[in-house]
Amino acid sequence: MNKLKSQKGSILVELVFVCIFLTMFMLATIEVINIFRANIYIQKVAREGAREAAMTNDTQAGKRMATDVSQQYFVSSKPSIVVYTNQAAGKEANVVCDVSYNYKPFYLFNNNGIGGIELDAKAVYPWWDENT
């Protein structure tokens, strides 16, 4: 009987530890999902920017399109977008859209986040120059 009285609060202590562990697991799972989502978004931004630049024969139009698309997905911080043509000697030219984004995990708790993960995406489309 004495043994039961001494362990009376152990269930409450175990419950607190399990709740803390489950909360940390849930937050980590949400952050992993957010990282995957941000990676998909920057890939879409790169594809749209490269496609627009290839269709209009204008890298600035591609950068504007990529910036517009990125504003739909990334509200607080913007990705870095570079659109350029890549032409090897004697080969067809390609337009390349390079997008990099610094994802800050746990930004809900701290405005600067904790650490950072650099996400990169690159899209390459053929460039058609109708003037030549």
Domain count, the chain: 1
Asked if residues 127 and 93 have their Cβ atoms less than 8 Å apart, the reply is: yes
Instruction: Report the C-alpha gap between 50 and 75 in whole angstroms.
Output: 22
Instruction: Report the C-alpha gap between 121 and 102 in whole angstroms.
Output: 12
Model-level pTM greater than 0.75?
Answer: yes
- The answer as to whether 93 is a domain residue is yes
CA dihedral 85, 75, 112, 36 (to 10 degrees): -70
- The answer as to whether 89 is a domain residue is yes
Query: Which residues form the domain of 54?
Result: 10-126
- The answer as to whether 2 is a domain residue is no
* Angle (CA) 57 62 64, round 5°: 135
- Phi then psi for residue 77, to 5 deg, are -130, 145
pLDDT bin (cut points 50, 70, 90) of residue 1 is very low
- The answer as to whether 101 is a domain residue is yes
The residues near 61 (Cβ < 8 Å, ≥ 6 apart) are 52, 53
- The answer as to whether 131 is a domain residue is no
Nearest to 37 by CA among 122, 101, 131, 111: 101
- The answer as to whether 57 is a domain residue is yes
Average pLDDT over residues 98-112: 77
pLDDT bin (cut points 50, 70, 90) of residue 76 is confident
Nearest to 48 by CA among 112, 130, 125: 125
Percentage of residues of the chain with pLDDT beyond 70: 80
- The answer as to whether 112 is a domain residue is yes
Average pLDDT over residues 50-63: 89
- Residue entry with tokens 């390079």: 98
